[in-house]
Chains A and B, each alone.
Chain A
């Protein structure tokens, strides 16, 4: 489903692309691999750049399959922004096969990486690629993107520096807000059960524990055994809140809540932004949405 949407979005962008490219001929064409990077690039580049994202909103970057129009976008681009850390395994070949001369910037350069704990691995190097979940790391992303933009377009250096500075101050404010929100949660309540494996950096930076439900398959319809396992774990470890994306049936969520007394959290956004109408159209909105969902589930 998501893949179809992403293909559709890509196709749409491809259709609309040429026309807008002509109109903005003066702008610098930039390709970002997924929506969060695209949002950073837009904020730093401002009016001077034209940002295209390969993996659109609401789509999964891990399992994305590039399309021919992606190769074309990369050919047209001056700069390709990637996350690195093995997130976009499909990208190097795409860049090579497109014959693009675009410079590639790895946005996570200089980030203190952490290992994946749960054995769910994207890459032999085993570094967790979801570094953007910590706002401190997001600032590294922004400075890396700023430097790359200046290198690609020295004429706009002043504009990029100004944009980046104002965006970085917004990120600082965001970081402060997240820390304040976490500080309000009593320390013994700072743990949730979540099927997400994307919040390692968030957990390390802000001190909320993300516990994976044991022995629960995340993809298929839950069996009685899965539900029983989740319930016993919540009771035993006294976990105040549960975020379960795979248990999508709201009736089942209510049952788990009724039987354990745990709060049921809403959706946490991790790997991609939503479209304009969704609750997380930008990175800052996404982090604010997540911290709001977490605090409302964890405060008693």
Chain B
């Protein structure tokens, strides 16, 4: 019974195994990035960047159809361009980073929609907006796994400056000049993981597997290592459960995964051991010496 519900779909169907592999790879790369975004109060930056990536992916799509590399490459270029330009404007003028990012991603989004509607049909764009995790071919899986590996390696290298910058940027500036390069490398990782996500979940939901697990982790742990572990685990769990929900009911897979994740988030908000609402109402006994 439990076997039939939880394991059999993956044994029986290869596309389910591939989808699971894809979503686990996404979790490994995206969830840690999400934790850092959250700690730096940049969660909405992830969302803005996801929109910024769309036109690049759309242009790649128009030039060569549903071609993995064209779309990845286009998305990377658009994402980096918006990240760099908005960083440049923020550093050299009085406009703050959030405003300049908003400006550039809106320009990018408008450009994308214009290019697509001038050149092609809007129906096909839906494939870009809502990727399909059920259609993981070898190429897509390899690209996602490759990007996740790169993400973990780069994170390992810039982990120290990144953590210190999250906690105490002024201190970091006094002891090291690694702050700016680490920040740029981190932005690059954000873009890479969003591009990764849109192959599986589409541009609109790509950000979901980054931000929601980070939010969940915040309610269960106080240290960064713990948060990252919990975020990765909850993202992978959402992927597994979401695929099963989509298999047993008729919900499309991408939204199912994100909705399961959202469910975990709500549970965490209510019952989380760190600042969860129920925990605050009934604090329990204080430890007494």
Could you tell me which A residues sit within 8 Å of B by CB distance? 1, 217, 220-228, 231, 248-252, 254-256, 258-259
> Given contacts A220-B252, A252-B132, A255-B136, is CB(A225)–CB(B247) below 8 Å?
yes
- Does A248 lie within 8 Å of B248, measured CB to CB? no
- Which residues of B have CB within 8 Å of A256? 15
Closest partner residue, chain A, to B16 (CB atom) = A224
Name the CB-closest residue of A to B9.
A228
In the complex, the answer to whether B137 meets A255 with C-beta atoms within 8 Å is yes
Evaluate contact between B127 and A221: CB separation under 8 angstroms.
Answer: no
For this complex, 18 residue pairs linking A to B, each with C-beta atoms less than 8 Å apart, are A1-B123, A221-B130, A222-B134, A223-B247, A223-B249, A223-B250, A225-B249, A228-B9, A228-B12, A248-B123, A251-B66, A252-B135, A254-B137, A255-B18, A255-B134, A255-B136, A255-B137, A256-B15
Chain B: which residue is nearest A259 at the CB level?
B14
- B222-274 residues with Cβ-Cβ distance < 8 A to A are 243, 246-253, 256
Write the chain B residue with the least CB distance to A231. Answer: B13
Q: Which 10 A-B pairs have the closest CB atoms?
A: A251-B135, A224-B246, A252-B135, A224-B247, A221-B252, A223-B246, A223-B250, A255-B135, A224-B253, A223-B252
Interface residues on chain B, size class: 20 to 34
Main secondary structure of the interface of A (DSSP, over half): helix
Question: Which residues of A are found within 8 Å of B250, using beta-carbon distances?
Answer: 217, 223, 225-226
Q: How far is the CA of A228 from the CA of B243 in the complex (A)?
A: 12
Residue pairs across A and B with CB atoms within 8 Å: the count is 73
B135-A225 in contact (CB<8A): no
Name the residue in B9, B123, B246 with the highest tally of chain A Cβ atoms < 10 Å from its Cβ.
Answer: B246
B19 in the interface, Cβ–Cβ < 8 Å? yes
Q: Which chain B residue lies CB-closest to A252?
A: B135
How close is B178's CB to chain A, nearest CB, in angstroms? 41
A227 to B122, CA, bound (A): 24
Closest A residue to B138 using CB positions: A258
The reply to whether A225 and B248 form a contact with Cβ atoms under 8 Å apart is: yes
Q: In the assembly, what is the distance between CA of A226 and CA of B130, in Å?
A: 17
- Return chain A residues, CB-CB under 8 Å to B251: 223
Q: Tell me which residues across on chain B come within 8 A of A223, comparing CB atoms.
A: 246-247, 249-253, 256
In Å, the complex CA distance between A248 and B14 comes to 20
Residue with the greatest number of chain B CB neighbours at <10 A, chosen from A217, A221, A224, A225: A224
New A-B contacts (15) at CB < 8 Å, excluding given A222-B134, A248-B127: A217-B250, A221-B252, A223-B252, A223-B256, A224-B9, A224-B19, A231-B13, A231-B15, A251-B127, A251-B132, A252-B134, A254-B135, A255-B15, A258-B137, A259-B15
Q: How far is the CA of A217 from the CA of B249 in the complex (A)?
A: 12
> What is the bound-complex CA distance between A261 and B110, given in angstroms?
42
Report whether B14 and A228 are in contact in the complex, using a CB–CB cutoff of 8 Å: no
B254 to chain A, nearest CB (A): 8
Which B8-39 residues have a C-beta within 8 angstroms of A? 9, 12-16, 18-19
